[in-house]
Amino acid sequence: MENNTRIIRFSDGTMIVCMVESLDDIQKQNFINILYPIEIVSNGLEENGGSQMLEQYMLKAWMGLSDDVMFTLNTSDITTIALLREEYIAGYENVVNRLFFRSDEFQNPPEEEELTPEDLLEYLQLKDEGKLN
């Protein structure tokens, strides 16, 4: 199976990881379609031991205010397209599942039961007696 998970860097420096529908003759295309884009945000460089530097990344929804999963990009805004390294594909798929395929139970968490004043008093007493972890 062909790996079509790519990292795309735009001319403004923004990076996303996504599935690219087709890369055939991309230099001749004005637009490409992508699926499940997730923005890659750098948390900066940190010193990791003596002479090593470590860069950490955060992933977040690229178009968080949209329910769309497919987007069309103008190729003139793209500076680089690269394959996502094999060891990061499973992590990307996990984030895609959480962002794009979450079930209603995650979107609308169950309401918590309201505590009565008696419940709160009992809780405080148990806490004072050291019976709570």
Tokens of 15: 């990076």
Q: Are the beta carbons of 48 and 54 closer than 8 angstroms?
A: yes
Integer Cα distance of 18 and 39 in angstroms: 9
* Per-position pLDDT tens, the chain of length 133: 467 899 999 999 999 999 998 877 777 888 999 999 999 998 877 777 777 778 888 899 999 898 899 999 999 999 999 999 999 999 999 899 988 887 554 455 555 566 666 666 676 677 777 776 5
Domain count across the chain? 1
Retrieve residue 111's tokens.
Answer: 């309401």
Domain of 31, in residue numbers: 5-128
Neighbours of 61 (CB within 10 A): 14
In a domain, 133, yes or no: no
pTM of this structure: 0.69
Q: Supply the CATH number for residue 77's domain.
A: 2.30.30.100
Residue 45 lies in a domain: yes
